[in-house]
Amino acid sequence: MRRAVITGVGVVAPGGESREQFWARIVDGKPAIRRITRFDPAAFRSRIAAEVDVDAAGRGLTPQEERRTDRFVQMAMIAADEAVADAGLDSAEGDRVGVTLGTAVGATSRLEDEYVIASNRGRDWVVDHRHTGPFLYQSLVPASGAAELAARYGAHGPAAVVSTGCTSGIDSIGHALGLVQDDEADVVIAGASDAPISPITVACFDAIRATTPHNDEPEAASRPFDDGRQGFVLGEGSAFLIVEELAHARARGARIYCEVTGYAARANGFHMTGLRPDGLELAEAIGDAMDQARLTTEDLGYISAHGSGTRQNDRHETAAYKRALGEPVRRVPISSIKAVVGHSLGAIGAIEMAACALTLQRGVIPPTANLTVPDPECDLDYTPLTAREAAVRHALSVGSGFGGFQSAMVFSSPGALA
């Protein structure tokens, strides 16, 4: 089977609108969460979010690109530009270059904005098409995001949007891995993006009390594995990785961050939002990914947790780690960067894979911010508050999302490349 490595990383995250700013932010463990500024959140239960401050024009987007695309596509363009440049590719043009874009909710912000105008703030069920903006079909069907990226780089290989909810980011990179393994592409521009900080998305999580009402202290609101956690904090952002066939990368002398050594997914078949406490299916995904990488728990130097900060997720996840990785998992540093950058739905999986690639390269494990009083049932080493230096050869990342989807991916350092 052909092997795939990561040769470029680009990130647009809250409080870290480039790869290096993002890395500094998560190593510092300084939450980028504030009262929502994108609209007036006064009427909502959860009024805080991890927002991105990005200047699309300053990052090279043209007025036409801004006009025709939703914010999720704009952030994807900026993150992908950074990844392509970072990979040192002279050009990403060609028949053997693919694109995969993960997103959970796509262009929902623009769809809502246009609807509010066309319907006179929800008064009219029958809406008038003459009051909507251009390229609205491109927001209706989010495939347009992958098409924008393909056209941007002249990538003529397979292109697709992967939309498995909150595992979209890991699954997008997993999709890219499949394209490389199966000899359908030599390079895939793979990542994810979501811009869900809009009234309808905030309202939908309010309705099921999934997001935290911890509004008074935004910076302390996202508390993965902490006993005081009350739900997740919505975020936004994008990350892209260049997934490249190993021999292709070596032939051009590319700098290799790590190899994608394992990827697996399962579904719990249980509930669209609920998790059974035993973590069985997530454990199956982790075990499958570890087997593909031919690793035992002792080989793992870091786990990037899903760690959303909901009551049920963090216990479910702890149970899954114990079930899949056994007693030795107690010695593996684990952390959730969602305390800093929030939960950006489909995007976060790619952002966390970017964090894993940087951890392997730089030998620093980012901490779990706000973890001051651990939940007694979340009794693993969740790396509270302070980053640690450690040579990490293999890192695992997991994601869990609506629909019952559970995904796991393993990255291994180039030093471990046989």
Partner 1 sequence: MTPAAVITGIGVVAPTGTGVREHWANTLAGRSGIAPITSYAPGLPVAVAGQVTDFDETEWVDHRLIVQTDRWTWLAFAAARLALDDARLDPAGENPMALSVVTAGGSGGNAFGQREIQALWREGPRAVSAYQSIGWFYAASSGQLSIRHQLKGACGVIVADGAGGIEAVRQARRLLARGSAGVLTGGTEAPLSPYALVCQSGQRGLSQGSDPDTAYRPFAADATGHVPGEGGAMLVLEPEEKARARGARVYAEVAGTASTHDAWHPEDPPPDSRQLERAVRESIARAGCVPDDIDVVFADGAGDARADRLELDALRAVFDGRSVPVTAPKTMTGRLCSGGAALDLAWAALAIDRGVLPPTVNVPADALGPGLDLVIEARPADVRYALVVARGVGGFNSAAVLRRSDPAAEK
Name residues contacting partner 1, limited to 58-77 (CB under 8 A): 68
Least distance in angstroms from the C-beta of 210 to partner 1: 7
- Is residue 272 part of the contact set for partner 1 (CB under 8 A)? yes
Q: Which of 19, 175, 229, 306 binds partner 1 (CB under 8 A)?
A: 175
Q: Which of 20, 53, 55, 182 binds partner 1 (CB under 8 A)?
A: 182
- Is residue 148 part of the contact set for partner 1 (CB under 8 A)? yes
Helices 199-207 + 108-118 axis angle, to 10: 110
Length of the chain: 418
Q: Token digits for 148?
A: 């924008």
Separation of alpha carbons 173 and 243, rounded Å: 8
Least distance in angstroms from the C-beta of 330 to partner 1: 27
Amino acid at residue number 339: A
The 3 state secondary structure assigned to 260-290 is EEEEEEEECCCCCCCCCCCCHHHHHHHHHHH
What are the residue numbers of the active site? 166, 306, 343
Q: Which of 220, 267, 385, 416 binds partner 1 (CB under 8 A)?
A: 267
Nearest CA to 9 out of 392, 409, 350, 376 is that of 350
- Is residue 241 part of the contact set for partner 1 (CB under 8 A)? no
Q: Binders of partner 1 among 197-226, rule CB under 8 A? A: 199-200, 202-208, 210
Closer to partner 1 by CB, 272 or 418: give it: 272
Beta bridge partners of 399: 407
- Is residue 39 part of the contact set for partner 1 (CB under 8 A)? no
Q: Token digits for 350?
A: 């790619």
Query: Which of the stretches 307-315, 336-344, 368-376, 397-405 binds partner 1 when contact is defined by CB under 8 A?
Result: 397-405
Closer to partner 1 by CB, 94 or 228: give it: 94
Separation of alpha carbons 393 and 9, rounded Å: 18
Q: Is 187 helix (H, G, I), strand (E, B) or coil?
A: strand
Binding mask 308-337 toward partner 1 (x if CB under 8 A, else -) reads ------------------------------
Least distance in angstroms from the C-beta of 192 to partner 1: 13
- Is residue 270 part of the contact set for partner 1 (CB under 8 A)? yes
Contact 31, 218 (CB under 8 A): yes
Q: Which of 25, 214, 223, 266 binds partner 1 (CB under 8 A)?
A: 266
Query: Phi/psi at 143 (nearest 5 deg)?
Result: -50, -25
- Is residue 398 part of the contact set for partner 1 (CB under 8 A)? no
Contact 357, 325 (CB under 8 A): no
Parallel/antiparallel/unpaired status of strands 237-245 and 187-194 = antiparallel
- Is residue 82 part of the contact set for partner 1 (CB under 8 A)? no
Binding mask 98-137 toward partner 1 (x if CB under 8 A, else -) reads -x----xxx----xx-xxx-xx-xxx-xxxxx--x-xxxx
Separation of alpha carbons 112 and 128, rounded Å: 14
Q: Binders of partner 1 among 2-31, rule CB under 8 A? A: none
